Structure 1
Amino acid sequence: MKKAIIIGGGVAGMQTALRLSELGIEPLLLEKGAEPGGKLRGWHALFPTFTPAEEVLTELRRRIERQKIEVRTRSEVRSVTPTSVTLADGTELACDAVVVATGFTLFDAAVKEEYGYGLYDNVYTSADIERMLNEGRVACADGRAPARIAFLHCVGSRDEKVCQQHCSRVCCITGVKQAMEMKRLFPGADVFNFYMDIRMFGTGYEEMYREAQQRCNVHFVRGRISEAAPTLDGRIQIKAEDTLTGRPLRMSVDMLVLLVGMRANDDNATLNEELRRAPSGFLSPRDHFLGNIRSNVEGIFYAGTVTAPKNVGETLNEATAAADAVAEYLKA
């Protein structure tokens, strides 16, 4: 039986392994963490349906167990060729093909010092909010319920100052989703979304955006927050400009939420020096149409956000396509 190694145990890696198993190819799933699941383990609900992330993750894990797919955790990969994978401890694993599904890295909001993440209380990232929602406790640092919440889009995306010029695609809809969740938790709170552009590209996204405005009364302000500073009463004062009216704006909020983008993994360049990378640092597919899940190295394939920001649905579909391409390659 032919064998394929999948690097990365997130949703892309798990779905790739499942599809390969269905096609009669032996998959070996390598995950550098303590358990599979990737970033999905930290998410609360998925847009646009508000489906609990745990439901999707549990079902993927159940299928992995049912098909008796081998999963090796705490297995960090050092280098890759089309016929072998070398782990950080020097172990070399032989195979017939490799699928790289190592995902992305969340932008470190502390880099944008003007917003005070890690410096001031009550400044959070979108990932922090997902964690708080999962824990069932969303509150200000002192435990009180927020009366005014501001979301800031494009933190670590479309920003030349931090060398992140690409759009992370899912930040806009994440901001809409979390704003709606905040209004459900705190109906009397004022919720603001500060944005450069609203990019509602997916099925059901535009409808969510309209619902957030019309039913939930979420306020959308076109303009970037220029700085944030703590106040004596433990709130955050923000300065911005409403670019639709041209007027400066200043307000105090109980919570400032930074919608952090996706950035490429730092170790993309070390996997194999022949693999092409895009200017953004993400791995670049052979072409963007007929070979978007193939690398420029024969026998190495890509699945998920290792090549660009994507949502969960796109990632799962691409993983299936990657497995099908592996099967076609191994038959040749």
Structure 2
Amino acid sequence: MKKVIIIGGGAAGMQTALRLAERGIEPLILEKEAEAGGKLRGWHALFPTFTPAEEVLTELRRRIEEKKIEIRTRSEVRSLTPKSVTLADGQRLDCDAVVLASGFTLFDAAIKEEYGYGLYDNVFTSADIERMLNEGRVARADGSAPRRIALLHCVGSRDEKVCQQHCSRVCCITGVKQAMELKQRFPEADIFNFYMDIRMFGPGYEEMYREAQQKCNVHFVRGRISEAAPTLDGRIQIKAEDTLTGRPLRMSVDMLILLVGMRANDDSAALAESAGLQRSPSGFMAPRDHFLHNVESNVEGIFYAGTVTAPKNIGETLNEAIAAADAAADYLNE
């Protein structure tokens, strides 16, 4: 039986493995973390349906167990070729093809020092809010309920100053989703989304955006926050400009939430160099082309699935994983 090694045990890696097994090919998943599931493990609900992330993850895990697909956790890949993968401990694993499904890294909000993440209380990232929602307790640092919340879009996206010029695509809809979830928990709170441009590209996204405004009374302000500073009473004062009116704006909020974008993994450069893989200017892996061979690399026998090539939502990731598995299976059956 032909064997394919899948690097990455998140949604893309698991879906790829399931499809390969259906095609009669033996998949082996290598996951560097202690547990499979990737970023999906830390998410609360998925847009635009508010489907619990745990439901999707549980179903993927159930299918993996049912098919008896092997997942090796704590297995970090150091280098690869189309026929082998070498782990950080020096162990070499042979195979017939490789699917790279190693995902992305969240932008480190602390790099944008002007927003005070890691310096001031009550400045959070969108990932922090998802964790709080999972834990069933969203609150300020002192445990109190917020009365005014600001969400800032494009932190670590479309920003030349931090070498992240690409759009992360899912931050806008995440901001809308989280604003609606927070409004449900704190009906009396005023919630503001500060944005550069609202990009509602997916099915149901525009409708969700309208619902946030019309039914949830979430406020949307076109403008970037220039700085944030703590106040004596434990709040965060933000300065911004409403670019639609051209007026400066200053307000104090109880919580500032930074919607962090996706960036390429730190190890992508080393992996690309080891196998001769091409990368995009953004640092993500570059597919052979963006149309007919978008899940193939420039090296025969190495394939891509999910956000290793660009920011995507979960639905796109799962669909692309099937395409990657089929491309790998067709390659092996030629």
Determine which of 285, 288, 309 is the counterpart of 2:287. 285
Cα offsets for 1:100-128 (capped at 9, x unmatched): 00000000000000000000000000000
The whole-number CA distance in structure 2 between the counterparts of 1:263 and 1:256 is: 22
1:324 is matched with 326
Residue 25 of structure 2 corresponds to: 25
Q: Which runs of 5+ in 2 are unaligned?
A: none
Between the two proteins, the alignment pairs up a number of residues equal to 332
Q: CA–CA distance in 2 between the matches of 1:71 and 1:189? A: 44
Question: SS where residue 15 of structure 1 aligns?
Answer: helix
Once the two structures are superposed, the pairs formed by residues 1-332 of structure 1 within 5 Å of their partners are 1-273=1-273, 274-332=276-334
Instruction: Decide whether the 8 Å contact of 1:295 with 1:302 is kept in 2.
Output: yes
Q: Partners of 2:12 and 2:49 in 1: how far apart?
A: 20
2:10 and 2:40 in contact (8 A); partners too: yes
- Following the alignment from structure 2 to structure 1, what is the Cα–Cα distance between the partners of residues 34 and 246? 50
Question: Secondary structure of the equivalent of 1:256?
Answer: strand
What letter is aligned with 2:28? L
CA distance in 2, matches of 1:191, 1:254: 10
2:272–2:278: 8 Å Cα contact kept in structure 1?
A: no
Task: Give the whole-Å Cα distance in 2 for the aligned partners of 1:261 and 1:272.
Answer: 22
TM-score by length of 1: 1.00
- Counterparts of 1:114 and 1:326 in 2: how far apart (Å)? 46
**2:325 and 2:48 mapped to 1: Cα distance?**
26
Structure 1: 5+ residue runs without aligned partners? none
Q: Distance between the aligned counterparts of 2:271 and 2:129, measured in 1? A: 32
Q: Is 1:81–1:272's contact at 8 Å kept on the other side of the alignment?
A: no
Identity %: 86
CA drift at 1:271 = 1.2
Letter in 1 for 2:137: R
Q: What one-letter code is carried by the residue in structure 1 that aligns with 2:49?
A: T
Preserved CA contact (<8 Å) 1:30 1:71: yes
2:307 aligns to what SS in structure 1?
A: coil
CA offset at residue 266 of structure 1? 1.1
Deviation, 1:272, is 3.6
Write the deviation string for residues 40-93 of structure 1: whole angstroms up to 9, x where unpaired.
Answer: 000000000000000000000000000000110000000010000000000000
Q: Confirm or deny: 8 A CA contact 1:195 1:223 kept in the other structure.
A: yes
The alpha-carbon deviation at position 151 of structure 1 amounts to 0.2
The one-letter code sitting in structure 2 at the alignment partner of 1:312 is I
**What amino acid is the match of 2:152?**
L
Q: Give the TM-score normalised by structure 2.
A: 0.99
Indicate the RMSD between aligned Cα atoms, in angstroms: 0.4
The structure-2 alpha-carbon separation of the partners of 1:3 and 1:77, relative to structure 1 and needing over 3 Å to count, comes to: same
